[in-house]
Chains A and B, each alone.
Chain A
Amino acid sequence: MNDKLMTLNLKIWRQKSAKHKGRMQDYKLSGVSPDMSFLEMVDLLNEQLVRQGDDPVAFDHDCREGICGMCSMMINGEAHGPSALTTTCQLHMRHFHDGDSIVIEPFRAKAFPVIKDLMVDRSAFDKVIQAGGFVSVNTGNPQDANNIPISKENADLAMDAAACIGCGACVASCPNASAMLFVSAKISQLALLPQGQVEAKARAESMVQKMDEVGFGNCSNHAECEASCPKGIDLSNIARMNREYFKAKFS
């Protein structure tokens, strides 16, 4: 056996379903390689649990390459764990040490109810998108590239905003469970481009309204969202949303 393998003390939130009460449960897991991703470490635990005839820990994951935004987990009190600009699936066990205790919990917000164990229902985000996160265009042949001139600066800012993968880390890390970083990125990526400007006012109003309606908290400008965002979405997006919203109401 490789002597670099680690043994970890895990404390994981177990909850049978949305209706059941959950609790933290302790697990000891050995044979963890520093080369494993965090999710592979949980896979290892689940193989052990299945072998013992226990219920494996349910958790969300899909791409495992940092682009889908599914792997929501609160690791030692931080969304997606301690590494900046990193999703849980891209977090590696080399950031931990033999004998470490690791607390793993689901993202917690009224708008993100727990489905089972570490899985939460993030469809509140979809509802916000449905409220206005689109442009209405007639379909048909695509236009020639560069038909609509867009400044390099705005193109870059729109691309930066569009890097949001909707993982929900902003909500999870915000002391108020506010979704403003997500919503503002979705508003910004469209408001910055001519195609999105037509509906900019109505979009800002309806997306903000929906965001409040589905139960997210308010923004206190703590900036924990920006600090926890695996894609580095900038706080200036929230400022843009505040501007857009103000403009929509008063101009």
Chain B
Amino acid sequence: MEYFLQQLINGLTLGAIYGLIAIGYTMVYGIIGMINFAHGEIYMLGAFISLIAYLAATTIGGGSVAVALMVALLATMLLTALWGWTVERVAYRPLRKAPRLAPLISAIGVSIVLQNFSQLAQGARVKPLPPVVRGGFTLMQSEDFAVNLSWLQIFIVMLTAVLMAVFTWVITRTSLGRAQRATEQDMKMASLLGINVDRIVSITFVMGAALAAVAGLMVTLYYGVIDFYIGFLAGIKAFTAAVLGGIGSLPGAMLGGLLIGLIEAFWSGYFSIEYKDVATFGILVMVLLFRPTGLLGRPEVEKI
């Protein structure tokens, strides 16, 4: 029981991080019908930027961890969003009318470029960050096992919940979100109503990148080490989460992220930690084979 609870806590934390990344995949897919394979790299950049920003904030500001974290969070979201915007402008927009394969290849290219750029700029070795948010409390204690809930885990899950709530509100309730949904459903019609669809697509990339940036910051804090290669695996897992939830569906991405996090945690806890990635990829294959529309996705056919 205690062990189960601990895996649940770990899984929720992990799931929050995957969910944040998965939203970027699902939104971009929804609006331009393309899998942005460079999104994992955007998250990796977010992790690096957060590390640098946090170190800079503590050096300059001194003292308060909370203030440094806040500064790092905002700086990371801003700078990573700028990367997301640039990638769309440079690598995808010129290919908007090209065959579907072209932007996909371009995305893989961007992904390689960003990986190598980070490797050159930051070195190939892992970058450590000493624990920033320490402590927590013990939820339950039996003879040989204690269930720990750290402040950091609480911070990660809470921040994710808040971001997702804000995000859902923007998409469902504001005029910007309405324009995004309209562009997603019929881009040409949206432009016939005076919507600048290029701007809407840009904003979508910016939002997805900003959320991936937060995930990058969380991972830096949670694991304490990052390297230029983390985007690949996290990217594929978040992509799996998006597909599992139903690509194009926002609640689906959140649910998928949570499920992937939980599955990974329980799999590592009860079966084999070495094969934890196999579980995720097994799910990806199964979903693609048996339910390509995912849990909350809708079938492609529409009554028009």
| Genuine A/B complex | no
A residues with a Cβ closer than 8 A to B are none
B residues with a Cβ closer than 8 A to A are none
